[in-house]
Structure 1
């Protein structure tokens, strides 16, 4: 029997991967390439969209070659992508108009301030669900159109297309200038500030307010359907394969973790961390610092929504402890050092290196260490570093519980930090729920593969995907609830000490920050 696979392209902020999965959801092959980060000015972050496309073609070819797959063995291709990164290109030639502007980029601060001057940062929240911030793509599109001479005129003439990275890739993988399909999915569209969140269509009012011509926007489609068949250069290795899924990376991780029911949640622990909880078939009004977003939509079925909480500094705090302070030689060393003491010695570290994000949204906050005494050693500091990630997770989950009315019963986790058993146990203790890690850790790619496989009928339904999910590790809470409550009270006091340290001018009014965590 000939093996068959689904290919998933995970196009991230620093690299691009292609992973082939078999019918059981097991990884069969992987190929990866990094791309250059362009930093032309302070606060500006760009990528070369053509370089990204070349890397996609290379990693797809390498993964297919690795398993020796021939025609017909790859049944579908799905895409997961860095969200909010903005590409403008000429549909006649396929050439981008300059570099892609990355989701981390801060160049639209002035434009965001202008928009917020008339109605505040929540001016558009009742339509798109999002506060005004440099994070999202809408203001970035308008900035590019105005900053590039003649580009608005070219857009009016039909010579400009906009897309987040999913749109750029789908258009190119389905033929590019020779019939490429210009689409995006609901998860990526929900991160532009231009989509009506409840109706899942472009909002003329939002587009007009932000100065974005609607004719350049892609068609909004579901996350799992056949957008088109592979064409152009990719067809040399994957001829006629359905391009059948697109999801933003964090939504893809939620899908790969099979969080299909309201109340099911995941956290991806990396440089920064992202918590998402499925909230069901209608968007939730978020009033406690989380962001409503579309979780996924399968074909013509009703969309599922989610709340998202972004934590700026988690894994990067361990890196700082290693590189900035020189306290450990390697990142894994922190676990043994922290285990050498029974607690944090009364010390708390709040890693607000460039502000605090969900649920506080305080760009004026800066990192603090509180509770220091002569008793505290580097081992206590190591424990405080790990506990900072756990307490930040608790703050986000508490906000999600308050916004959604759903009570978290377990947390599914993925990402590099999940190899730290002490950290995972601490998360379970402070949340008071089981923390569960799956057998397949590549949940972003797996989510894109699952959606593509569903679209072509390779997997029959969501329940079939649930059967593919297998537990690799579980941590049950066993801490004294009273001790956890005291620790959370102390943590909250420490967080309050971090507020107001930045003397840089800020228009903070309780909305979102002007910078976002790394992925």
Structure 2
């Protein structure tokens, strides 16, 4: 096996990164750059697509230099914030509007109209997804309806998600998307390989503007020689949550992981069986490689790490995110405070885009520690709701594997184990999203014969076991459910 490292681009929501991985899974180096968040109206979230590109390229160049040159890179893997939509001109390669981010809620009324017209059962059956502004298709339609440059682009229009944009820019015009990202648009049926004509017609999306759907591992193209110093093959593509599931080696049916990043996303491997949920979970494609497909059930929580940023940047309750664990430990309990963290609506299994956040139970004895603790506890409460939904859909969790930046907080991981009454495993390297993209790139470049072989890259884990009494756990859940009933 080659000892040349794999380069991963991880274009997230609040930052973009490049990482180098050795074929044994060791993370050699990381470069990171923050992304500007734009909030032009309440509920709207946008990014500058050119900034995503420039900062991703700058990070990649730093890693190429660290590796000793582009000829030392075995392959590139790309993973990305899913559902975020970018429109660009295929001739100039310039964005036609700011990217509409997955958190954006501007299409809530359009989604209401789709539900009222009776389309949700069909969409759930065909795509595995509920009707919600979260997904890409209504964002694309909004751009066509409200952005003059997009509307007038004609056959120059390209639409895609973030990995499509990065591949286009890296290769100088290859327009592709991987099957995992395509499965999040509501324009691809889960049991088909390409864009579905009926779904594109329902949303009014021109298929000519969409990328070709490709596998998650393979030889997709090479970077322009002038960008990194020499051509490098792009061999792995996946949406961030699918990539994290692979990076956690959740390769058997029943394996489940939770990524605690900007939001929190729980996926359970369902094997080759196409998932169908009766409890408002999502069915999604985990990966497609050749003739092999694997599916997953997913529960999406929109606010996790971003809640800590809100406490820091908007309320000034903490100076840095790491303060949250110490504050939570500084009080014996939440002091009767419960938080509904619906800053951008509620995701699964509630799906209430119009819900707004609430903090209840405030008294003169309330301190900032109680509020911060209640914020952390709200994540465990939401994940508990998802655990119930997964179990009701026939996919109970045996162990939950966690990753992502927020999982470095020992307090919240222990609280999750307590509230779930399940073991929670955290890998020694929590950056499993990028690792999954590296595993896919390794398979696509021929370094491994399968994802099972590539799982040697996965790191060992530390286990957190439940320690909370039944009475205390039940009281917490009663308080949470009362907040949900009153405010959601």
TM-score by length of 2: 0.91
Partners in 1 of 2:43 and 2:317 — Cα distance?
30
> Tell me, what secondary structure is at the counterpart of 2:156?
coil
User: 1:38: how far off?
Assistant: 4.2
TM-superposed deviation, 1:87: 2.2
Count residues with an aligned counterpart.
488
Query: Shift in Å at residue 216 of structure 1?
Result: 1.9
**Structure 1 runs not aligned, ≥5 long:** 500-519
Secondary structure of residue in 2 paired with 1:284: coil
Question: Displacement, 1:185?
Answer: 0.8
Aligned counterparts of 2:379 and 2:410: Cα–Cα separation in 1: 13
1:215 aligns with 2:208: yes
Aligned pair 1:305/2:295, yes or no?
yes
Q: Residues 439 and 469 of structure 1 are in contact (CA less than 8 Å); yes or no, is this contact kept in structure 2?
A: no
1:292 equivalent to 2:264? Answer no
Give the secondary-structure state (helix, strand or coil) at the position aligned to 1:13.
coil
**Match among 242, 248, 257 for residue 251 of structure 1:** 242
1:370: Cα distance to partner?
Answer: 4.5
User: What's the TM-score once normalised by structure 1's chain length?
Assistant: 0.86
Mean Cα deviation higher: 313-322 or 270-279:
313-322
Task: Name 2:134's counterpart in structure 1.
Answer: 135
* Residues 175-196 of structure 1: per-residue CA shift (max 9 Å, x gap): x2xxx32211111111111111
Distance 2:307 2:144 in 1: 37
Q: Deviations over 1:310-365 (max 9, x none)?
A: 22333344445556665555433333343344434444333334433221123454
CA distance in 1, matches of 2:117, 2:369: 50
- Are positions 1:190 and 2:180 aligned together? no
User: Given that residues 286 and 292 in structure 1 are in contact (C-alpha distance below 8 angstroms), is that contact kept between their aligned partners in structure 2?
Assistant: yes
Partners in 1 of 2:485 and 2:473 — Cα distance? 18
Match of 1:406 in 2: 395
CA distance in 2, matches of 1:3, 1:27: 13
Task: Summarize the alignment of residues 70-81 of structure 1 with structure 2, pairs less than 5 Å apart.
Answer: 71=71, 73-81=72-80
**1:26 maps to which residue?**
26
Residue 199 (str. 1) matches residue 192 (str. 2): yes
Measured at CA, do residues 479 and 14 of structure 1 come closer, stay the same or move farther in structure 2, by a change above 3 Å?
closer
Say if 1:168 and 1:353 are closer, same or farther in 2 by CA, change over 3 A: closer
Aligned counterparts of 2:92 and 2:369: Cα–Cα separation in 1: 58
1:308-457 residue pairs with structure 2 within 5 A? 308-321=298-311, 328-370=318-360, 379-403=369-393, 405-457=394-446
| 1:163, distance to aligned residue in structure 2 (A) | 1.5
Deviation of 1:270 (Å): 2.8
- 3-state secondary structure, aligned to 2:74: strand
Mind listing any 5+ residue stretches in structure 2 that lack a counterpart? Answer: none
Retained in 1: the 8 A contact 2:2–2:447?
Answer: no
**Does the 8 Å CA contact 2:14/2:262 hold for their aligned counterparts?**
no
Contact 2:177-2:212 at 8 Å conserved across structures: yes
Q: Could you give the per-residue CA deviations for residues 253-274 of structure 1, whole angstroms, max 9, x where no partner exists?
A: 1111111111111112234322
Tell me the equivalent position of 2:4: 4
Alpha-carbon separation, structure 2, partners of 1:45 and 1:19: 26
Matched residues in 1 for 2:482 and 2:193: separation?
40
Cα deviation, residue 372, structure 1: 5.7
Please list the CA deviations of residues 385-405 of structure 1 after superposition, one character each: whole Å capped at 9, or x if unmatched: 3322211111112112222x1
RMSD of equivalent CA atoms: 2.7
Rg larger in structure: 1
**Secondary structure of 1:389 counterpart:** helix
**Counterpart contact for 1:244–1:452, Cα < 8 Å:** yes
